[in-house]
Amino acid sequence: MIVNFKEIKDDVEWELFAKAFFRSMGKTIEERPTVGSDGGTGKDLIISEILPSDLGTPIKRQYLVSCKHYAHRSKGGAVRESDEKPIIDVNLRLEECDGFIGFYSTYPTTTLIDILKKYEKVSKRTYKIYDRDDIQSYLLKDDEDNLLLKSYFKDSYKEWVQLGSPKIDRNSNFEKLTKHHFEEKDRDYFKKYFEGQPVDWSVIRKYTFKRSCFSQVIENLEANKVCLITGAGGEGKTTLLMQTGDYYFKKNYEVYFSWNVFKHLDPQNLQFDPKINYLIIIDRADTIAELNDFVKKIKFLNNVKVIFAARKNEWLQSLLKRKNAKELEAWLGVEIALRKISNLETEAITTLLQKTGYNTVISTERLKKFIEENKDFNFLLSIMIYATQGKSFKAIIIDIIRNIKKWENCDRILLAIGYIVSIEILGRGLHGSLYCQETMLRKLIGIGSIGEYSAIRDQLSQEAFFQESGDNLIYTRNIQIAKLYFEVLFDQDSGILNLFDTYDNILQETVKGDYFNKFDLVAQIPVFMRSVNLETAISLLKAAISYRYFFHQYYIFIKDEIQKGNFGNYDEDLYSARWLFKEAFNKNPKNPKLYHLWADFEKQQQDRGNIKLLYVPTLSEDDLQFSPQWILKTGVEICQDDSVYIALAKLHIENRHIENAIEVLNDGIIITKSPSLYCALASLEFKEGNPNLARDIIEQVNPSALTPELYLLKSQIELKSGNNQEARNILKTGIKKFNIDKLVVALAKIDIMEGKLQEAKALIKSKVDLLRTLPLDYCLINIEKMMGNWLVARKLYKEVDELYNDFSIRISWAYFEINLNNVGEIGIPETARGIFFNGWERYSKIWNFVHSFLLMEAGLACNEGINEPYSAQWLFNYYLQLIENDHFIHYGKIIRSLSDLKQALSVNNVKNPQEFEDFEIDD
């Protein structure tokens, strides 16, 4: 900032400045500010202006001006909804005015803006906000030789005139670090810090230890000039920032720091003295709009370094909103993420406590054991709490709740904690992390008095590990703390708070209010509760549906009903699968996922053996409503989504109505021009024996819009036509553009087809060495097998199995061992039986894995004891039980017994599970 708003000392002077400001704009001061409070009305000024009228008679407009001077506040300083309560809640004050003006030396919160917008819409009265940026912009453009700037901001004016832009020490967002910051202010504050209070400069030198990454921070700053630290709350970000500040302060750098939330940092209006070395510390980098431009400027200055910090979730969320996110990440370089406490850091904690004389009985070994047993709570705040008090964080939370129960306003405080943590543990929604808004919290706990709410907020901050942001949010200092509060408060035995009532109240208030995270909350609450208490989750789902909401996150409940066999019908069986499908369709019909899930369900349940019973190419009969074809055709009409067009085309293809499929895809291409539809149509023509037509369809796609799938299809067309070299060229062009594994594997397959195994191996290895993926590793294994390198292939199987934890790897590996006659016995590793057995615990719920294990045992025709685990009969019985619970299984040829299965294996000489696709088991 060019203008240092702290030059205006108090609220009275700020109101007098506002009067001069609006007078310079040609406004008339109708009611002047007086010395003293505004009497709680929020009315500081009333100004007016004369506007021309089409009727010829000028119109006089009056505005109420609320002056808020929060530039001197230590944290945030944003103007909240509660600060403007008299204007927002008591509308009578605006009766004599035509609009509202906020005149702020800081910024309004987004919640305040949202409320003012809503008020404007309801009351038909306009509003205007002049924040610090707007005021500065006007001051610097003042035609009267910057008279306002000169009169009220003398130091800023002087620097502006002399230098054209201010030095960093004139920027009101930052404070300069001095030796006085390190002076002891409270003799026992270090104990409070050890026990969870926020860090202070006065404890940095004597009462903190260096994290293992400290040297990396310094290396990053020396090499890159900028450094970003991320982590959850309580991980020690602020402590690390202060330690870095102290390091460079001792090296005679001028250190400037900011713990405040601010949105703008214009690099063009910020000057550094070239003779001075600077370190800039910014704690909330995620909030700064011009961060990319600021970082670029710093990178070209030899004497300035900047260290940023942000909560990991907020940082990721801010990147999603930035158009230049990739460029910013490149400028920032390697991010330093604070996570778990290492063994060396554990030793440093106990050494520090002993050195400072803090009375603790926790040894290093005991602290290490605690960390090992409580891996979810391996963050600095939690470890320090245990090291100083010998208690787990859960025990601390229980103590806090026990103490709160002794407070006069305990019921409301416990309710407040319950609401805050119930929202926080929901995690991320589509639009970012979910936190409780203070405006919502006040309504949930029924507090109208700002003073009473502020007292509760301060108590939570000081006593219970909560904190607030500058954007009207309140949350715990770490998500693990929120989880502990949730666990203790909603424990069924303790009965402190009721889980359903809490979420039901949040749901009701969310639906009624106008909150920025409204839809994310309604979407996440029932889904989250599904993993905690299914009965409560279903009740909350019913509540959400009653409010006319049905988000795609709710589809999991449809799958639950399908899994239970509760198919129902569309009109009568409430909360059955079909009833939920219809509700989803009525309330949120534009989600393509709905039509895929719905059509698949009906295809399974109504088909079961002959889809043609439900299939009519023209589909005009009303009685076919809710058939798979009707569902997909309706989805196409409503969504016009590529994937739904393709699903409908596939349905036609399954019934050999190729012309209908072509018509569907052509219709989609006309509407969407999507490359995926061109690819589907070209692929269909290619499979129907029309390579030239397929080639012509692909040629219609702009070369810049070609997808990896289109490059792959183009190469297949040329291969089919015998143009191997052209296929190679196409794949090489695609690899150069996308460099993805499927294209590399396709190119290697051409080498394999031509007998060039060494070339294929060299190609795959060149890619695997840079980036390993399952398709590349599979291809390499198959090449080694073709070359007869059995030991190398076995080594790769073992390596790939450990790397990916994918059930298909174990199946392939086991059948590889069978082909080498290495069947072995159950429990013997690196044999076919041992490979299946060792994967059983992890993959026994995956029917493909069980299916393949069963095929192997049945095909070997031994170990048939019905009561012996992992025998063919035992696996067959387990398999039947598994597929009975999966209502999405397609059934082919009927195998009713193990003997039928063996006969099918014998007749078809099956040695590989891929050859067994036609022989599914039916119960």
Q: What pLDDT, on a 0 to 100 scale, did the predictor assign at position 784?
A: 95
- Scanning the structure block, which residue is given the tokens 């934890």? 805
Q: Are 38 and 66 in contact (CB under 8 A)?
A: no
Q: Are 427 and 511 in contact (CB under 8 A)?
A: no
Provide DSSP, 177-193: --GGGGS-S-TTHHHHH
CA angle 599, 601, 602 (to 5 degrees): 65
Indicate whether 136 pLDDT > 80: yes
Helical ranges in 588-722 per DSSP H: 592-602, 628-639, 642-654, 658-672, 675-687, 691-699, 708-720
Tell me the β-bridge partners of 337. 230
Indicate whether 339 pLDDT > 80: no
Over residues 326-348, mean pLDDT: 85
Q: Going from the N-terminus, what domains does the chain have, and what CATH number goes with each? A: 11-32+41-163 (3.40.1350.10), 168-339 (3.40.50.300), 345-390 (no CATH), 408-549 (no CATH), 829-922 (no CATH)
Q: What pLDDT, on a 0 to 100 scale, did the predictor assign at position 892?
A: 38
Q: What pLDDT, on a 0 to 100 scale, did the predictor assign at position 71?
A: 86
Rounded to an integer, what distance in angstroms lies between the CA atom of residue 33 and that of residue 38? 8
Nearest one of 427, 429, 401 to 416, comparing CA atoms? 401
Q: How confident is the model at residue 761 (pLDDT cuts 50, 70, 90)?
A: very high
Q: What pLDDT, on a 0 to 100 scale, did the predictor assign at position 208?
A: 92
Indicate whether 827 pLDDT > 60: yes
Q: What pLDDT, on a 0 to 100 scale, did the predictor assign at position 422?
A: 95
Over residues 580-585, mean pLDDT: 94
Question: Average pLDDT of the chain?
Answer: 83
Residue type, 772: R
Rounded to an integer, what distance in angstroms lies between the CA atom of residue 509 and that of residue 91? 22
Token reading at 165: 């832009």
Rounded to an integer, what distance in angstroms lies between the CA atom of residue 258 and that of residue 261? 8
Q: How confident is the model at residue 591 (pLDDT cuts 50, 70, 90)?
A: very high
Per the model's pLDDT, the better-predicted residue between 471 and 827 turns out to be 827
Per the model's pLDDT, the better-predicted residue between 430 and 582 turns out to be 582
Pairing verdict, β 175-176 and 126-130: unpaired
Q: What pLDDT, on a 0 to 100 scale, did the predictor assign at position 38?
A: 47
Phi-psi category of residue 345: left, alpha or beta, with phi > 0 → left and psi -120 to 50 → alpha:
alpha
Nearest one of 502, 600, 518, 504 to 551, comparing CA atoms? 518
Indicate whether 889 pLDDT > 50: no
Rounded to an integer, what distance in angstroms lies between the CA atom of residue 95 and that of residue 716? 75
Q: Which of 559-573, 694-708, 746-760 has the lowest mean pLDDT?
A: 559-573
E strands along 547-612, which residues? none
Indicate whether 609 pLDDT > 50: no
Q: Are 631 and 605 in contact (CB under 8 A)?
A: no
Indicate whether 412 pLDDT > 60: yes
Q: What pLDDT, on a 0 to 100 scale, did the predictor assign at position 623?
A: 46
Rounded to an integer, what distance in angstroms lies between the CA atom of residue 71 and that of residue 276? 27
Tens of pLDDT along 177-208?
999 899 887 888 888 888 778 889 999 999 99
Residues 6+ apart with CB under 8 A from 232: 311, 312, 313, 379, 478, 479, 480
**Backbone angles phi and psi of 487, in degrees to 5:** -65, -40
Q: Which of 62-66, 457-461, 889-893 has the lowest mean pLDDT?
A: 889-893
Per cent of the chain over pLDDT 70 is: 86
Nearest one of 38, 90, 252, 267 to 173, comparing CA atoms? 267
613-617: which pairs have CB atoms within 8 A and are 24 or more residues apart? 615/651, 615/655, 617/652, 617/655, 617/657, 617/660
Indicate whether 656 pLDDT > 80: yes
Sign of the dihedral defined by the CA atoms of residues 401, 406, 411, 413, in that order: negative
Q: What pLDDT, on a 0 to 100 scale, did the predictor assign at position 900?
A: 59
Tens of pLDDT along 261-301?
777 777 766 778 889 999 999 988 888 888 888 888 888 88
CA angle 272, 70, 37 (to 5 degrees): 150
- Scanning the structure block, which residue is given the tokens 């408060």? 489
Over residues 771-785, mean pLDDT: 92
Residue 709, SS3? Answer: helix
Indicate whether 618 pLDDT > 70: no
Tens of pLDDT along 784-808?
999 999 999 999 999 999 988 899 9
Indicate whether 923 pLDDT > 50: no
Over residues 384-395, mean pLDDT: 80
Tell me the β-bridge partners of 271. 167
Indicate whether 41 pLDDT > 50: no
CA atoms within 13 A on the CB side of 804: 18
- Scanning the structure block, which residue is given the tokens 């050890």? 194
Torsion of the alpha carbons at 325, 326, 330 and 331, rounded to the nearest 10: -30
Q: Which of 261-265, 302-306, 836-840, 841-845 has the lowest mean pLDDT?
A: 261-265
Residue 814, SS3? Answer: helix
Per cent of the chain over pLDDT 90 is: 40
Token reading at 815: 């059948």
Q: What pLDDT, on a 0 to 100 scale, did the predictor assign at position 711?
A: 96
Q: What pLDDT, on a 0 to 100 scale, did the predictor assign at position 893?
A: 39
DSSP state of 552: G
Rounded to an integer, what distance in angstroms lies between the CA atom of residue 699 and that of residue 183? 74
Q: Are 637 and 644 in contact (CB under 8 A)?
A: no
Per the model's pLDDT, the better-predicted residue between 62 and 886 turns out to be 62
Q: How confident is the model at residue 228 (pLDDT cuts 50, 70, 90)?
A: very high
Indicate whether 37 pLDDT > 50: no
Indicate whether 542 pLDDT > 90: yes
Query: Angle 364-373/343-355 helices, nearest 10 degrees?
Result: 140
Tell me the β-bridge partners of 693. none
Token reading at 624: 């076919």
pTM exceeds 0.75, yes or no = no
Tell me the β-bridge partners of 47. 29, 63
Rounded to an integer, what distance in angstroms lies between the CA atom of residue 916 and that of residue 855? 9
Rounded to an integer, what distance in angstroms lies between the CA atom of residue 520 and that of residue 808? 36
Indicate whether 914 pLDDT > 50: no
Burial letters 753-776, b for 16+ CB under 10 A, else e? eeeeeeebbebbeebbeeeebeeb
Greatest mean pLDDT range, 76-90, 104-118, 393-407: 393-407
Q: How many helices (H) and strands (E) does the chain have?
A: 43, 16
Q: How confident is the model at residue 922 (pLDDT cuts 50, 70, 90)?
A: very low
Tell me the β-bridge partners of 126. 99
Tens of pLDDT along 499-538?
999 999 999 999 988 888 889 999 999 999 998 889 999 9
Q: What pLDDT, on a 0 to 100 scale, did the predictor assign at position 263?
A: 74
Q: Are 195 and 214 in contact (CB under 8 A)?
A: no
Indicate whether 836 pLDDT > 60: yes
Nearest one of 205, 230, 31, 10 to 105, comparing CA atoms? 10
DSSP state of 364: H
Tens of pLDDT along 72-92?
876 557 888 878 876 665 544
Q: What pLDDT, on a 0 to 100 scale, did the predictor assign at position 901?
A: 60
Over residues 621-632, mean pLDDT: 78
Pairing verdict, β 336-337 and 254-258: unpaired
